[in-house]
Amino acid sequence: MNSGVERVRADAARAGETAHLSFSRVTRFYRSTSGKAPFHALGPVSFELSPGEFFSVVGPSGCGKSTLLDVAAGLSPPTEGEVRFEGGAVNGVVPDGVALVFQEDACFPWLNVHDNAAFAARHAGVAESEIRQRVEHALAFMGLTGFARSYPAQLSGGMRQRVCLARAMVLRPRLMLLDEPFGALDQQTRLLMGDEVLKLWRDTGSTVMLITHSIDEAVMLSDRIGIMSARPGVFIDIVSTGWKRDRDSTITSDSRFGALQSRIWTLLRGESLKALEQRP
Amino acid sequence: MSRVGWWRTGLVLSAVLLLEIATRRGWINPVSFIPPSKMANAAWGLLSSGQFSKDIGLTIAAAFIAAVMAVVFGFFGGLVLHRFPRVLRVVNPLLLSYYAVPIFVAYPMFIVLFGINRLPLIAIGFAFAIVAMAVNTLNGLQRVPRVLRRAARMSRMTAFDEMRLITIPSCLPYLFTGVKLVVVYAFIAVIGGEFVLSGEGIGYQIAFAYNNFDNQTMYGLMLLLLLFVGSLNLTLHVVEQRLYQRRVLREAS
């Protein structure tokens, strides 16, 4: 086990927590603007993530996966229930030590790659000399060293997403939330980016929660996979993959990979059909 | 210079040369339209004599004040409209039809309000330009990607930091377009106002020369004005290109 995980687990132990992130009967309703009943987007949802765990959430379109992530990030408060991160309540305020990588391109087009990677850490008040070291490490880690002075418009979609991952990495988060970060990329690039994320996860020791539509991606990357129902999303099952920590995209040829995919699709199929029927 | 730039320069020079030949050969009456070479000669004479320096200074000063005011108030106007969508819904049709109204009809009103001095000209320049700035600011603010705002929230930024570090840099190309339009509109309005009712300024002097059949002075002043406003716009264009070369041009391509 690497030092990153030990650090996260030690922090959690000091805080007297066995769970790094926990959801306890969390629901999220949105007010309707047209006088209709409130829109029930999520829950009730209860689960716990262990320190250093890689947890993915798969579910049909519109089931509330991104809402779950927003609530975990503190971008959206739960309507009912409680979210706790490292023992502290998360109630619509982004906690310290949490980073979010978005599905959309979140690079700042007016900043070069180096400054994009340094942006969040600079705002968090990290010393400039420390930021320089972290950025150099993150860019080298992501294979972007030669592009430090390039601007996002000069990079491919995959490289831009690596810049966003580098930005999160420079922050040294204890919880990393990934909202379909490879959704806009082609299948081959997604597999390679999956390898990058696994390396990043091992390097930082962060707890990771990934939201994805892709069953393959979830099976390849995760220690556990939460399978959500059609809206309002609740977990219908949580599946452990049993992969060893040191893994990469070559596990897609493992016989267990297909079995896991098949099991998850069996659970999801009916929910996906329900979700199709729910569409206006 | 790029290949397109060379073609553009060639096109302008060809048009000037054609006018020169047309007026010299008498295809166009050289009394009512003097050859471009004579215009240039007259412009140089007017500039070096200092005869119209005061008028040039007055026009530039009025347009500059009007432009600065329009940029500042237009920017804050755009911010307010973006911040209060209900207000925007109320005034949006008015903004869209703003330039359908000939603003010069308000000039007598400005004279009544401010008196016969330079203030009505500044007011008309300001009134003509402010909406361009407000609309461009609003466009820019509306196009700040939601994901960048969410990134700001993840960094726990204050509203001021979000504005300073995310919103303004993100909509800067739109703000720059607004500034360029403001400069053009402010000059159009101020010089147009001087034409209509003023006793000084370049617009007044062009109108005075026209009424007195003084074509040398009229075309000389027109050329000076054209060169000045053209240079100003070119400067703004170059600054914009340098600032956003990597970002805007590559995105556009």
Reported as a pLDDT band with limits 50, 70 and 90, residue B247 is: low
Identify whether residues A192 and A270 lie together within a single domain: yes
Identify whether residues B199 and B114 lie together within a single domain: yes
Identify whether residues A164 and A190 lie together within a single domain: no
- Nearest CB to A153: which of B146, B153, B250? B250
- Nearest CB to A106: which of B148, B157, B250? B148
Identify whether residues B127 and B44 lie together within a single domain: yes
Any idea what DSSP says for residue A125? Answer: T
Identify whether residues A142 and A267 lie together within a single domain: no
- Nearest CB to A110: which of B151, B157, B169? B169
Residues 6+ apart with CB under 8 A from B107: B120, B124, B193, B196, B197
Identify whether residues B13 and B94 lie together within a single domain: no
**Region A79-98 average pLDDT:** 88
CA distance A104 to chain B (A): 7
Total number of domains in chain A: 2
- Contacts of residue A176 in chain B, CB cutoff 8 Å? none
Average pLDDT over chain B reads 89
Token pair 């430090």 is found at A148
Summarised one tens digit per residue, pLDDT across range B120-134 is: 999 999 999 999 999
The amino acid occupying position A9 is R
Nearest CA in chain A to B166: A108
The number of C-alpha atoms within 13 Å of B213 and in the hemisphere containing its C-beta is 3
Contact A69, A103 (CB under 8 A): no
Assess whether pLDDT exceeds 60 at residue A148. Answer: yes
Q: Which of A131, A193, A107 is nearest to B246 (CA)?
A: A107
Residue A103 maps to a domain: no
Identify whether residues A136 and A253 lie together within a single domain: no
B154·A100 Cβ contact <8 A: yes
Q: Which of A105, A134, A129, A103 is nearest to A117 (CA)?
A: A134
Contact B242, B73 (CB under 8 A): no
Summarised one tens digit per residue, pLDDT across range A25-58 is: 999 998 877 677 888 889 799 999 999 999 999 9
Identify whether residues B63 and B2 lie together within a single domain: no
Spatial distance between the Cα atoms of B197 and B111, rounded to a whole number of angstroms: 9
User: B172 touching A, CB under 8 A?
Assistant: yes
| Residue B250 confidence (pLDDT) | 47
Reported as a pLDDT band with limits 50, 70 and 90, residue B84 is: very high
Cis peptide before A173 (omega within 30 of 0): no
Summarised one tens digit per residue, pLDDT across range B12-67 is: 999 999 999 999 998 988 888 899 999 999 999 999 998 899 999 999 999 999 99
In A97-206, alpha helices (H): 113-123, 128-141, 157-170, 187-204
User: B242 touching A, CB under 8 A?
Assistant: no
Identify whether residues B13 and B64 lie together within a single domain: no
| Residue A273 confidence (pLDDT) | 87
Identify whether residues A179 and A266 lie together within a single domain: yes
- Contacts of residue A99 in chain B, CB cutoff 8 Å? 154
**What stretch of H or E contains A45?**
strand A39-49
| Residue B222 confidence (pLDDT) | 93
B147·A102 Cβ contact <8 A: yes
Which of A130, A147, A172 terminates a domain? The answer is A172
Identify whether residues B226 and B136 lie together within a single domain: yes
Which of A148, A172, A196 terminates a domain? The answer is A172
Identify whether residues B89 and B22 lie together within a single domain: no
Total number of domains in chain B: 2
- Contacts of residue B250 in chain A, CB cutoff 8 Å? 151, 153-154
- Contacts of residue B176 in chain A, CB cutoff 8 Å? none
Q: Which tokens go with B221?
A: 């002043």
Identify whether residues A151 and A211 lie together within a single domain: no
Identify whether residues B47 and B169 lie together within a single domain: yes
Q: Which tokens go with B110?
A: 């400005």
User: A136 touching B, CB under 8 A?
Assistant: no
Long-range contacts of A266-272 (CB under 8 A, 24+ apart): A267/A227, A267/A236, A267/A237, A267/A239, A268/A58, A268/A59, A268/A60, A268/A215, A268/A227, A271/A59, A271/A60, A271/A63, A271/A227, A271/A228, A271/A229, A271/A230, A271/A236, A272/A60, A272/A230
Q: A185 by DSSP, 3-state: which?
A: coil
CA distance B78 to chain A (A): 22
Identify whether residues A183 and A160 lie together within a single domain: no
**Region B195-206 average pLDDT:** 88
- What's the domain range around B21? 1-31
Residue to mutate among A71, A75, A102, with most B CBs inside 10 A, is: A102
A154·B246 Cβ contact <8 A: yes
- Contacts of residue B145 in chain A, CB cutoff 8 Å? 104, 106
| Residue A10 confidence (pLDDT) | 58
Average pLDDT over chain A reads 87
B170·A110 Cβ contact <8 A: yes
- Contacts of residue B154 in chain A, CB cutoff 8 Å? 73, 75, 94, 98-100, 120
- Contacts of residue A154 in chain B, CB cutoff 8 Å? 246, 250
Of the two residues B1 and A211, the one the predictor is more confident about is A211
Put the strands of the sheet holding A80-85 in their side by side order.
A39-49, A21-30, A80-85, A88-89
Identify whether residues B45 and B157 lie together within a single domain: yes
**Region B213-233 average pLDDT:** 91
Residues 6+ apart with CB under 8 A from B158: none
Identify whether residues A231 and A249 lie together within a single domain: yes
Identify whether residues A142 and A191 lie together within a single domain: no
Identify whether residues A75 and A181 lie together within a single domain: yes
| Residue A9 confidence (pLDDT) | 54
In chain B, alpha helices (H): 3-24, 36-49, 53-83, 85-96, 107-114, 119-142, 146-154, 159-162, 168-197, 202-211, 215-244, 250-252
Summarised one tens digit per residue, pLDDT across range A210-250 is: 999 889 999 999 999 999 998 888 999 999 999 988 888 88
Query: 161-190 in A: which are within 8 Å (CB) of B?
Result: none
Spatial distance between the Cα atoms of A212 and A175, rounded to a whole number of angstroms: 17
In chain A, alpha helices (H): 3-14, 65-73, 113-123, 128-141, 157-170, 187-204, 215-221, 255-278
Residue A236 maps to a domain: yes
Residue to mutate among A90, A108, A161, A179, with most B CBs inside 10 A, is: A108
Residue A102 maps to a domain: no
Identify whether residues A160 and A242 lie together within a single domain: no
Spatial distance between the Cα atoms of A6 and A9, rounded to a whole number of angstroms: 5
CA distance B162 to chain A (A): 11
Summarised one tens digit per residue, pLDDT across range A20-33 is: 899 999 999 988 77
Which of A120, A145, A172 terminates a domain? The answer is A172
Identify whether residues A133 and A18 lie together within a single domain: no
Identify whether residues B63 and B116 lie together within a single domain: yes
| Residue A1 confidence (pLDDT) | 43
Spatial distance between the Cα atoms of B192 and B180, rounded to a whole number of angstroms: 18
| Residue B142 confidence (pLDDT) | 94
Residue A74 maps to a domain: yes
A108·B148 Cβ contact <8 A: yes
Nearest CA in chain B to A105: B147
Reported as a pLDDT band with limits 50, 70 and 90, residue A83 is: very high
- Contacts of residue B166 in chain A, CB cutoff 8 Å? 108
- Contacts of residue A106 in chain B, CB cutoff 8 Å? 145, 147-148, 150-151
Identify whether residues B162 and B220 lie together within a single domain: yes
Contact A202, A169 (CB under 8 A): no
- Nearest CB to B250: which of A106, A119, A154? A154
User: B168 touching A, CB under 8 A?
Assistant: no
- What's the domain range around A191? 3-97+175-278
Assess whether pLDDT exceeds 50 at residue B251. Answer: no
Q: For residue A202, what is the domain's CATH number?
A: 3.40.50.300
Q: Give the strand pairing for A207-212 and A98-101.
A: unpaired
Identify whether residues B84 and B193 lie together within a single domain: yes
Q: For residue B156, what is the domain's CATH number?
A: 1.10.3720.10
